[in-house]
Amino acid sequence: METKITHIAVVSIPAFSHQASIVEFCKRLVHFHHNFHVTCIFTTIDSPPQATITFLQSLPPNIDYIFLPPINKQDLPKGVPLSLQISHAVSQSLPSFHHALQSLCSSNNPLVALIADPFANETLEIAKEFNLLSYIYFPPSAMTLSLFLHLPTLHEEVSCEYKDYKEAIHIPGCLPIHGNDLPEHLQDRSSLSYELILERCKRFSLAHGFLVNSFSEIEGERVSTLVKIGKKPIYLVGPVIQTGASIELNKAECMKWLEIQRPKSVLYVSFGSGGTLSEEQVNELAFGLESSGQKFLWVFRAPNVSANALYLSTSNDDPLQFLPDGFLERTKGQGLVVPNWAPQTQILSHKSIGGFLTHCGWNSTLESIVLGVPMITWPLFAEQRMNAVLLTKGLKVALRPKFNDNDIAEKKEIAEVIKELMLGEEGHGISQRIEELKYVALSALKEDGSSTRALSQFITDIENFLRHKV
């Protein structure tokens, strides 16, 4: 008897980090549940990123993908935060998405469910129109999900700007957090960005449940709290990290250089797929790396006043020209600087890597945990400050440098934090703790692990719903 195929769709936003995470989740889903077929739907701005196109070439046969007609970047509002531009792109793509969903629902193997990115949750209303089960795939931590679910209440409880709130903010199931460590979108309550986030958070009630890229051994307690409050299932299905092909620029150069370094002697420095620093901060970081005396591999991008400048734009400039005069010559034996991109998971898994200076994007954070690499947290935007709090105060697997009143980490502070992580007693303790966390994370992904069981429960819940529907 032929096995019935269950067809679901997922929709993501035009940001590679979100796209890579949801696709990796889909690969894991169809690996364990062969009777599922997934169609990935991507909103795009101008054209799909090359990183996404390359990444999608490694998909198994039971995952398809659709790029919706691209939104012209010139039609998006100018001089506004990235989150607003992405929001406008998603809104402009809704008619195309509606058409794509209608087509999939009327196919020989019609859809039964939609999984949406939290920043594309307007699509949940369209899913309701087609009588589909609907879920949110949440690429960040359960701590961030807890904030988003609690935000409408927090909005009523706190009247001032969160950064001016005198007391620590208490989010259900989470560490107390200072207002200035909340996501950047929440720092100006009069802004359109804040209004949009608040509106999105209220729309979360449309979802039947949440799939979160985390695992119960580090965030199970807060999920129990959330389920009691929200009365909706939350499935911790991570750590979902990138395993497929990606742009592997500079791979040979990086691997060759790492091979001649001592074990755990190199600090890897990278600010993710879109992160950038100001020119002043670039100089301080360069001098800090140099004066630390520690080996480093730095993925370097041209400076920019915007911390997330590369998500929707590219620069044709050679970024290395923006390094301080003489830096490359002086550090020739100490470090390697590569422009723009590097194969991150392969670098982090190399025996020579002993630390990771990271922007605390959740994808990078999970990669570092799974590969057992101690961290220095350097949050730039989005929810990355919250992740830094979780890593330093909660899990205690990272150090965080101090920034001055102009929000600049100075070279002396940078050098001291690097030396402490790589050589100090506190760094040694962090290494031991993250090695233990690595084991726990890998155990969660095993066939009998907590995250695999959560994924199976998600599938069982869908199948039970469909059975009762019939």
User: What confidence tens digit (pLDDT) does each residue in 391-422 have?
Assistant: 999 999 999 999 999 999 999 999 999 999 99
31 classed as catalytic: no
- Listed residue (452, 437, 17) closest to 219, CA to CA: 437
Predicted pLDDT of residue 1? 42
- Phi, psi (5° rounding) for residue 40? -90, 130
Give the predicted TM-score (pTM) of the model. 0.94
Q: What is the mean pLDDT of residues 217-243?
A: 88
Give the whole-angstrom CA distance, residue 97 versus residue 423: 52
Select the more confidently predicted residue: 338 or 49. Answer: 338
Place of tokens 């370094």: 261
Q: Where are the alpha helices (DSSP H) in 273-326?
A: 279-292
Give the whole-angstrom CA distance, residue 301 versus residue 321: 10
Domain map of the chain by residue range? 6-238+445-469, 251-442
Predicted pLDDT of residue 51? 80
How does DSSP assign 100-158, residue by residue? Answer: HHHHHHTSSS-EEEEEE-GGGTTHHHHHHHTT-EEEEEE-S-HHHHHHHHHHHHHHHH-
Share of the chain above pLDDT 90, in %: 83
Predicted pLDDT of residue 242? 83
Digit-coded pLDDT (tens) for 326-338: 999 999 999 999 9
Residue in 7, 117, 185, 350 annotated catalytic: 117
User: In sequence order, what are the beta bridge partners of 337?
Assistant: 298
Least-confidence region, from 87-101, 244-258, 386-400: 244-258
18 classed as catalytic: yes
Pairing state between β 36-42 and 353-358: unpaired
Check if the beta carbon of residue 172 is closer than 8 Å to that of residue 225: yes
Tokens standing for 182?
A: 């909340």
Biggest CA pair distance of the chain? 71
The answer to whether residue 17 scores a pLDDT higher than 90 is: no
Residue in 7, 18, 185, 350 annotated catalytic: 18
The answer to whether residue 247 scores a pLDDT higher than 70 is: no
What kind of fold does domain 251-442 have according to CATH? Rossmann fold (3.40.50)
Q: What is the mean pLDDT of residues 292-321?
A: 80
How does DSSP assign 400-432, residue by residue? Answer: -----TTS---HHHHHHHHHHHHHSHHHHHHHH
Range 193-199 contact pairs with CB under 8 angstroms and sequence separation of 24 or more: 193/80, 193/81, 193/83, 193/84, 196/83, 196/84, 196/87, 197/83, 197/148, 197/151, 198/151, 198/152, 198/155
Q: What is the mean pLDDT of residues 446-462?
A: 96
Q: What is the mean pLDDT of residues 204-216?
A: 96
Average pLDDT, the chain: 93
Domains 6-238+445-469 and 251-442 agree in fold:
yes
Q: What is the mean pLDDT of residues 116-121?
A: 97
Check if the beta carbon of residue 133 is closer than 8 Å to that of residue 114: yes
Pairing state between β 234-236 and 209-212: parallel
Tokens standing for 468?
A: 């009762």
Predicted pLDDT of residue 314? 56
* Phi-psi group of 362: left, alpha or beta (phi > 0 → left; psi -120 to 50 → alpha; rest → beta): alpha
Digit-coded pLDDT (tens) for 61-83: 999 999 999 999 999 998 888 88
- Listed residue (35, 231, 273) closest to 139, CA to CA: 273
Share of the chain above pLDDT 70, in %: 96
Rg (CA), the chain: 22
The answer to whether residue 469 scores a pLDDT higher than 80 is: no
Q: What is the mean pLDDT of residues 89-104?
A: 97
Tokens standing for 418?
A: 């690097």
Q: What is the mean pLDDT of residues 284-308?
A: 93
User: In sequence order, what are the beta bridge partners of 39?
Assistant: 9, 64
Digit-coded pLDDT (tens) for 153-189: 999 999 999 999 999 999 998 999 999 999 988 999 9
User: Which CATH architecture fits 6-238+445-469?
Assistant: 3-Layer(aba) Sandwich (3.40)
Confidence of residue 44 (pLDDT cuts 50, 70, 90): very high
The answer to whether residue 141 scores a pLDDT higher than 70 is: yes
Check if the beta carbon of residue 40 is closer than 8 Å to that of residue 20: no
Predicted pLDDT of residue 316? 61
Digit-coded pLDDT (tens) for 428-438: 999 999 999 99
